[in-house]
Chains A and B, each alone.
Chain A
Amino acid sequence: MERDSTIKIRVVNLHKSFKENHVLRGVHLEVRQGESMVVIGGSGSGKTVLIKCIIGLIRPDEGEIYVDGLEITSSNGQKMNEVRKKFGMLFQGGALFDSMRIWENVGFGLRQQNRLNEEEIKRIVSEKLRLVGLKDIEDLMPAELSGGMKKRVSLARAIAMEPEILLYDEPTTGIDPIMADAINSLIVQMREKLNVTSIAITHDMKSAYKIADRIAMLFQGKIIEVGTTEEIKNSPNPIVQQFIQGKSEGPIKIL
C-alpha cells in the first residue's frame, strides 16, 4: 500500500519512572503519516505509559515527543489542549462517562466546543455511531451496554471530533473473540475511511497482525524491534519470537 512517508509522531529517548520503578528507559519510535503502528509488549512493560505520554496525560521525565514536528512534552495549558484536538483515544475499559447518556458521551467534545446546536450534534452522533455499527442506542446509559458495545461507543466518541491520530489502549482486551475481531475490523476501517494515523498497544497478537502496518516491540522500557508484520514474524530475536508465539520458556523471565 502506498503511503505518505512523512513522520507524524516521533518519540525520542523517552524516560519515565514511578518512584523506584523505571518504566520507560529510552524509547525511540517513529510513526508515519497514515500508518497503523502496533506496540506489543507484556503486561507492565510500559505500553500504557508510553501511549499516555504521547497524548500528554503523563509527563515524561526525559526525552521529546514531536507531533507534526512540534515538541509537546514542554507545552502545557492552552497549547497542549490544541495538540490534544488532533488526538482521539480509545481507553481500555471504554472510560465512558457513566452519568451521561450515550449521545451525550459521543457528542461530549462537540458540546464543549459550543459551536453546534443540539440538533446538529445529535445528527453527527448518530452518524458516528452508525460508523461503528450501532444505532438507536442514543438515549441509553453506558451501564445498559455490553463490554463490546461500550468499546464501540468509546470509539465513536474518539472519532467524533475527527482526529488525525487515534490511540487504542488494548482494544481487544476483555471482550469475546468474535467481538474482538469486529473491533479489529473497525480499526482497519477507521484507517481506510478516515485516513488517520494510529497507534495501538496490545498483547493480543491476532489483533496486532490484523490491524498493523508495522509492529514495534517494547521490552524492559525500550523498543527492541520495529518492522512490518512479516518482518516481526520472521524476526531472529529470541525475545520477539518468544512473545509472539506466547511461550512461557525463553529469554523473557516470568517472575
Chain B
Amino acid sequence: MRFVEEAGRVMILFAQTLGWTFRPPMQGREILKQMEEVGVRSFPVVIITAAFTGMVLALQSFTGFKRFNAESMVGTVVALSMTRELGPVLTGLMVAGRVGSAMAAELGTMRVTEQIDALYTLATNPIKYLIVPRFLAAMIMLPILAIFADVIGMLGGYLVSVQILGTNPTLYIRRTWDYLEFNDLCSGLLKAVCFGMIVATISCYQGFSTQGGAEGVGRATTKAVVISSLTILISNYFITAILF
C-alpha cells in the first residue's frame, strides 16, 4: 500500500517537473551548474567503469567463443553489449550512486533546515528552481556519458583482444563495424535518457520528502540510491522488451 502511494507521489512530482520545465524563465545558471555536477564530475567514474567492463567482456567472451572457434566474434559481442546494454545501464547506476545520493542529501538538508520553505516565501517555486535544473541536467548528460562509456568500453575490449589475446586488429574492427547498427546506439541512448529522468526524479523526490533531521537525510540518501538503481534495472528490461 505504501509502495503504491509513494510511486504515485513520484509520478505526480514527475508530472509537475515536466510542467515547470517548459515554463519561462529558464534557470540557465542552475542548469549549467547541475550539468557540470552530473556530467563533467561523473566522467572519471563512468570512464573507469566502462573501460574495465569492456576489457573483462573481451576476456570472458574470448574464453567462451574459443570453445567453438569463433574468437573473431569478440569485437561484435563487446560492441553490442556496450551500446545496447552495459553503456547506458552502468552509466545509470554509477550516476545513481554518485549524483542521486548527492541530490537527495542536498535537497533533504534544504528541506530539514527550512530552505525549501524559504524559497516559497521568496515567491520562487522549488520544483522549478531546484528540481527542473537537476532533471534537465541528468536527462541531457546521461546519454552523453553513455556515448563515452560505449566508446571507451569498445576501446577497452579492443586493447585486451589485440594486445593480450592476439586478435588481428583489422579483423576485430571489421567485426565490430559490420554488425553494429545505428539502431543499437540509439536504443542505448534512449535508455540513458530514461535513466537520467529516473535518477533525477526519484532522488529529488526523496530529498523533498525528507523528514526528521540528520537521520532523515541519511535515510533519504540511501533510499534515493537503492530505489533509483532498482528502478533502472527493472525499467531496463521493459524498455528493452518494448524497443524490440
Please report A residues at the B interface, Cβ cutoff 8 Å. Answer: 52, 55-57, 81, 84-85, 87-89, 91-93, 95-99, 108-109, 112, 114, 157-158, 161
A95–B123 CB distance below 8 A: no
- The contact of A112 among B110, B117, B124, by CB within 8 Å, is B124
Residues of A within 8 A of B115 (CB): 95-98
**In chain A, what residue has the closest Cβ to B128?**
A112
Chain B, residues 161-183, CB within 8 Å of chain A (1/0): the string is 00000000000000000000000
Cα–Cα distance between A96 and B114 once the two chains are bound (Å): 9
Residues of B within 8 A of A56 (CB): 120
Top 9 A-B residue pairs of the complex, sorted by shortest distance between their CB atoms: A95-B114, A95-B118, A109-B122, A89-B121, A91-B114, A84-B123, A112-B124, A95-B115, A85-B123
B44 at the interface (CB under 8 A from A): no
Residues of A within 8 A of B125 (CB): 81
- The contact of A55 among B106, B109, B121, B129, by CB within 8 Å, is B121
Residues of B within 8 A of A112 (CB): 122-124, 129
- The contact of A57 among B110, B117, B122, by CB within 8 Å, is B117
A52–B117 CB distance below 8 A: yes
A84–B120 CB distance below 8 A: yes
- The contact of B122 among A92, A99, A157, by CB within 8 Å, is A157
B113 at the interface (CB under 8 A from A): yes
B118–A91 CB distance below 8 A: yes
A19 to chain B, nearest CB (A): 12
Grouping DSSP codes into helix (H, G, I), strand (E, B) and loop, the A interface class, with mixed when no group exceeds half, is: loop
Residues of A within 8 A of B114 (CB): 91-93, 95
A87–B118 CB distance below 8 A: no
A85 to chain B, nearest CB (A): 5
Cα–Cα distance between A81 and B128 once the two chains are bound (Å): 13
**Would you give 20 A-B contacts (Cβ < 8 Å), ordered by A?**
A55-B121, A56-B120, A57-B121, A81-B123, A84-B120, A84-B121, A89-B118, A91-B117, A96-B115, A98-B113, A98-B115, A108-B122, A108-B124, A109-B123, A109-B124, A112-B122, A112-B123, A112-B124, A114-B25, A161-B123
Residues of B within 8 A of A85 (CB): 123
Beyond A55-B121, A112-B129, 13 additional pairs, beta carbon < 8 A: A55-B120, A57-B121, A84-B121, A84-B123, A87-B121, A88-B121, A89-B121, A91-B117, A97-B110, A97-B115, A98-B113, A108-B124, A158-B121
A166 to chain B, nearest CB (A): 11
Q: Which of A95, A96, A99, A114 has the largest number of chain B CB atoms within 10 A? A: A95
Residues of B within 8 A of A109 (CB): 122-124
Residues of B within 8 A of A92 (CB): 114
A57–B123 CB distance below 8 A: no
Residues of A within 8 A of B122 (CB): 108-109, 112, 157, 161
B16 to chain A, nearest CB (A): 11
Residues of A within 8 A of B117 (CB): 52, 57, 89, 91, 95
Cα–Cα distance between A185 and B159 once the two chains are bound (Å): 73
Cα–Cα distance between A37 and B242 once the two chains are bound (Å): 62
A93–B113 CB distance below 8 A: yes
- The contact of B120 among A57, A158, A161, by CB within 8 Å, is A57
Cα–Cα distance between A95 and B120 once the two chains are bound (Å): 12
B171 to chain A, nearest CB (A): 53
**In chain B, what residue has the closest Cβ to A163?**
B121
**In chain B, what residue has the closest Cβ to A108?**
B122
Residues of A within 8 A of B123 (CB): 81, 84-85, 109, 112, 161
Cα–Cα distance between A119 and B63 once the two chains are bound (Å): 67
B149 to chain A, nearest CB (A): 29
Cα–Cα distance between A32 and B107 once the two chains are bound (Å): 37
Cα–Cα distance between A161 and B109 once the two chains are bound (Å): 25
Cα–Cα distance between A192 and B22 once the two chains are bound (Å): 43
Cα–Cα distance between A87 and B122 once the two chains are bound (Å): 8
Residues of A within 8 A of B121 (CB): 55, 57, 84, 87-89, 158
B108 to chain A, nearest CB (A): 13
Cα–Cα distance between A89 and B106 once the two chains are bound (Å): 22
B7 to chain A, nearest CB (A): 21
Residues of B within 8 A of A97 (CB): 110, 115, 118
**In chain B, what residue has the closest Cβ to A97?**
B115
**In chain B, what residue has the closest Cβ to A112?**
B124
Chain B, residues 89-113, CB within 8 Å of chain A (1/0): the string is 0000000000000000010011001
